Structure 1
Amino acid sequence: MLDNLFCCISEPGDAVLLPRPYYAVFEFDVQCKAGSTIVGVETVGVQPEVKGVERYYPTLKGLEKARDSALQQGLNPKVLLICQPNNPISVCYPKHVMELVWEFAEKHGMHLVSDEIYGAGIHAKQADFWSISRLAADKGRTLGDYVHVIYALSKDFASSGLRCGMMYSENQQVLKSMRKLNDLCQISSHTQWGLSRVFSDTEWIEDFLSKANSRLNDRFKLVKKSLEPEGVKVIEAEAGLFCWLDCRSWLEENTWDAEKKLYQQFFDEAKVLLTPGYSMRTEQPGYFRCCFATHEEVFNEGMKRLKDFGADKLRIEELEEESDDWQTGKYGKFPTTT
């Protein structure tokens, strides 16, 4: 869905601004058909005084810096892509952040794409999910021709194999182009029939999501309970199937090479596969994404292995909160592969 959309609204030489860290497959979605280029938006690095999860929110300073970087590279800043709720941080951007990104996109005549694939998977009671469509309704306005919303059933409904996604846009030219592109990737009649039956039962849908999100929140709390005593800081997750781990106290040194080594140790020694932060273009070494939505026995074994692995690790209580430039920053050369 995303690669078709970007094929419609961007082309080679265009830049897609995307707050860091971000799901690395976005790079494929942006580059595969459209040939456009992602320019990362710094979050942590432009607001070092901010603590907590708020430091991952995009800011006007970070957005303008990314736009200027794109222009300096000879690229045309064409699209702003937002993942709401965020992957990999697992938080919902609050209302004021969604207002900011929309105002920024409008100011610069850019398309705004809101990928809300985890939008029905809000599991934290304190979370307040602001879809871009909710924001439009709150302001009594339409989305207009430059805002596009993406959703799919693969995450919240555990149906990735059905390959069923959807887009909402009020731009008639984009819709016409998407219809033609989707001729090559249509959903089978059998799948459409089955899904129509499922989604006709609204009572079942509400019950399923309520139970699923309750279980996700319980599982997240178990991650915190298991890993925080071992020196891992677990960022408070609000949505989705994963959480963001601060494993910097387990690094041998505060460098990208040390993060890559730790990733390999997780795999070789603990036999646990975590997604390293550098593959998601994070700004500091030592962060990993942990997917916890799996069978109970698998989850329990994974937590046990991580706890055992971390039992003898050196504790570094405080580490500076600074950004890296991906390639030749203060933490060493940024890894190019996992």
Structure 2
Amino acid sequence: MEPGRGREGQVEPRLSPEDAAEARKILHAPEVSTDDTLVHDLCVGPCLNTMKCGEEVLARLANDRGLSATQPALTYLEQFLEALPCLFHPVENPSGFIPLVVAQNDLMGSVVIKELVSRHAMIPDDVVSSISGYDDFLGSSRLRTSLAAYLKSTFMRDVSEEDVTADHIAIAAGAGAIIENLAFLLADAGDSAILPAPYYPAFDNDLQVRAKVTPVPAPELKNFPDADGVSPAPVPTPASLAAAAADAVQKGTKPRMVIFTNPSNPLGDVVPAQNVQECMVWALRNKLHFVSDEVYANSVFDAENAPPFVSAAALKDAAGREAGMEPTEVDEYVHVVFGMSKDLCVSGLRVGCLYTKSQHVISALRNVSYFCGVPNPTQHALAALLDDTAWMKNFMETNFKKLKESRDAASAALAVAGIQHTRATAGLFLYADFTRVLKKHSRADEPTFEHERALFEALFKEARVLVTPGRDCHHPTPGWFRVCFAAVGVKSLEEAGRRLKRFIDAI
């Protein structure tokens, strides 16, 4: 192996002396010699100080990993944390911040938490002992059985009953943990994942911070100028995935998977089943894992104006036939991520789920899920809630109604400011076109992403409204922002519209 080079000739990242010193402070690592003769990958001939050399290598590895983890998971996290202690209230704090960056549904969260607490308190004595010790790290059999029934009664109705059982489900502390575990298990460090863009901003951190998998955006530009609230956003295509894969290979990374979000974050729309299947066929033909992130599958609140949502689990057999693969082989490549944070309004509960028929993946998750397990009492209470089908039906109907009301309020607020957005029928977002505002604010004929960042900062400091920059979602051109509408109330959305209008008028 060449000095300073890793697997397959890839150049290893090196810390500058200044960064290394800072990392040691953060991680409380010991001072190490800078003598190159003691650094293993620079040694010429036999190492004369194996113990010292090993300490240097371990310290450098710890510094590299730790230093990368100290980077914020999101570029707007600092602003969000600054806003939290000073949030808008129409009476108590009318000049407070309005954060529209949180992909969180608070509309029914208190109802769900109260119900979970009551069921938690009603744990029978004969169950207490069984949940106070270790259990299967995939998740308790009871919860996985309840989740299978939940899937079959909601967004996996088109999948046969024998194909949706507890044996096909694993849980972990959040959907982000599921994504990270899949990246760790399905790819090697330095490999890549193809993601239709724009996409959820935190995917970059989920893939890179520990698994060291490189995200490669696959943008689709078609229809983006038609941000009229009615026209659908562009849909991913095999052509855009193929172009991204070629770009990944050109840059020296090996594509291992496609991460496909449906319904879309940040677009807030359902991808038609035909488009999902076409992209899945492309992935299967190229022997890439198809990870379908369906965390908003039960948040399609405007179904009459959206194409029918169809889970990847219901499409995989047809896609496999088209790709020329046997069903058992397809099972190894298609995996569905879902969870409780979005559809059940409890982000703080930290319950993410995976559906897969790959017993190899299930077996591996049984190991790594040890590091991100969900407490047994939480699992018990959640299973009891999911088993109450009458309560769940009423909850979902009410949640759909509230989401639609919030979407309409956010759309009206943007209209006050003269800002349009793509059609939003699912999830928690509007994807808004600020390109006119960006040109006016930047005074540039062709604004850049630096101008977009300046607009983001000005909106935060002057209008005290926080929105997600399109660059964070890997939008290919500057001027688009994600607006999350379910983490604040209607009065906050209305005030945000008035502030945006004043801000734009004052430019």
Q: Equivalent residues in 2 for 1:7-86 (5 A)?
A: 7-44=184-221, 47=222, 56-86=234-264
The whole-number CA distance in structure 1 between the counterparts of 2:354 and 2:237 is 26
* Superposition pairs of residues 145-164 of structure 1, within 5 angstroms: 145-164=332-351
2:355 and 2:210 map into 1 onto residues whose CA distance is 20
**Deviation at 1:23?**
1.1
1:302 corresponds to: 496
CA contact (8 A) 1:92 1:130 kept: no
Give the conservation status (yes or no) of the 8 Å contact 1:16–1:79. yes
Deviation, 1:137, is 6.9
Tell me which protein shows more helix as a share of its residues.
Answer: 2
* Counterpart AA for 2:405: D
TM-score scaled by structure 1?
Answer: 0.86
Query: Out of 440, 448, 453, which is 1:260 matched to?
Result: 453
1:262 match: secondary structure: helix
Match of 2:428 among 218, 241, 244: 241
Please list, as runs of the form range in 1=range in 2, the aligned pairs for 1:78-97 lying within 5 A after superposition.
78-97=256-275
Name the counterpart of 2:298: 120
Distance (Å, rounded) in 1 between the aligned partners of 2:251 and 2:232: 29
**Is this contact kept in 1: 2:422–2:432, CA < 8 A?**
yes
Distance in 1 of aligned mates of 2:224 and 2:300: 28
AA in 2 matched with 1:131: S
Greater shift after overlay, 139-148 or 190-199? Answer: 139-148
Counterpart residue type for residue 302 of structure 1: A
Amino acid at match of 2:305: Q
Moved more, 76-85 or 125-134: 125-134
Return the offset for 1:147.
Answer: 0.4
Cα RMSD after superposing both structures? 2.1
The residue number in structure 1 matching 2:404 is 217
Rounded Cα–Cα distance in structure 2 between residues aligned with 1:121 and 1:174: 27
Which residue in 2 is equivalent to 1:336?
Answer: none
| Pairwise CA distance, 1:120 | 0.5
Aligned to 2:74: none
Q: Higher strand share goes to which structure?
A: 1
Q: Is the 8 A contact 1:15 1:37 kept in 2?
A: yes
Within 2, Cα distance between the matches of 1:192 and 1:57? 36
Equivalence for 2:10: none
Larger RCO, structure (CA 8 Å, separation 6 or more): 2
Contact 1:4 1:33 in 2 (8 A): no
Structure 1 residues 196-211: aligned runs within 5 Å: 196-211=383-398
Quote the sequence identity (%).
31
Please name the residue that 1:102 is paired with. Answer: 280
The 3 A distance-change label for structure 1 pair 179 and 189 is same
Secondary structure at the counterpart of residue 481 of structure 2: strand
For residues 205-256 of structure 1, give each alpha carbon's deviation from its aligned partner in whole angstroms, at most 9, with x where no partner exists: 1111111111111221222222224321121111111211101111133322
Residues of 2 paired with 1:310 and 1:300: CA distance?
16
| Structure 1 gaps, min length 5 | 314-338
> Is 1:287 the counterpart of 2:480 in the alignment?
yes
Distance (whole Å) between structure 1 residues aligned to residue 290 and residue 342 of structure 2:
22
**How far apart, in 1, do the equivalents of 2:317 and 2:394 lie?**
26
* Aligned-partner SS, 2:193: strand
The Cα shift of 1:54 comes to 5.0
Following the alignment from structure 2 to structure 1, what is the Cα–Cα distance between the partners of residues 210 and 345?
27
> Which amino acid counterpart does residue 394 of structure 2 have in structure 1?
D
Q: Deviations over 1:150-202 (max 9, x none)?
A: 01111111111111011011111111111111112111111011101211111
Q: Distance in 2 between matches of 1:15 and 1:64?
A: 13
| TM-score scaled by length of structure 2 | 0.58
**Which residue does the alignment assign to 2:311?**
131
Deviation at 1:304, TM superposition (A): 2.6
Distance in 1 between the 2:504 and 2:344 partners?
33
> Is the partner of 1:40 in helix, strand or coil?
strand
Distance, in Å, in 2 between the alignment partners of 1:178 and 1:212 is 32
Residue 84 of structure 1: how far off its partner (Å): 0.8
Match of 1:231 in 2: 418
Q: What residue identity is the alignment partner of 1:28?
A: N
Task: Indicate the residue corresponding to 2:181 in structure 1.
Answer: 4
Match status 1:173 vs 2:350: no
- Residue 51 of structure 1: CA displacement? 5.1
Q: Gapped runs of 5+ residues in structure 2?
A: 1-177, 322-326
Q: Which moved more, 1:246-255 or 1:295-304?
A: 295-304
Count of residue correspondences: 311
- In the alignment, the residues of structure 1 paired with residue 285 and residue 400 of structure 2 have an alpha-carbon distance, to the nearest angstrom, of 37
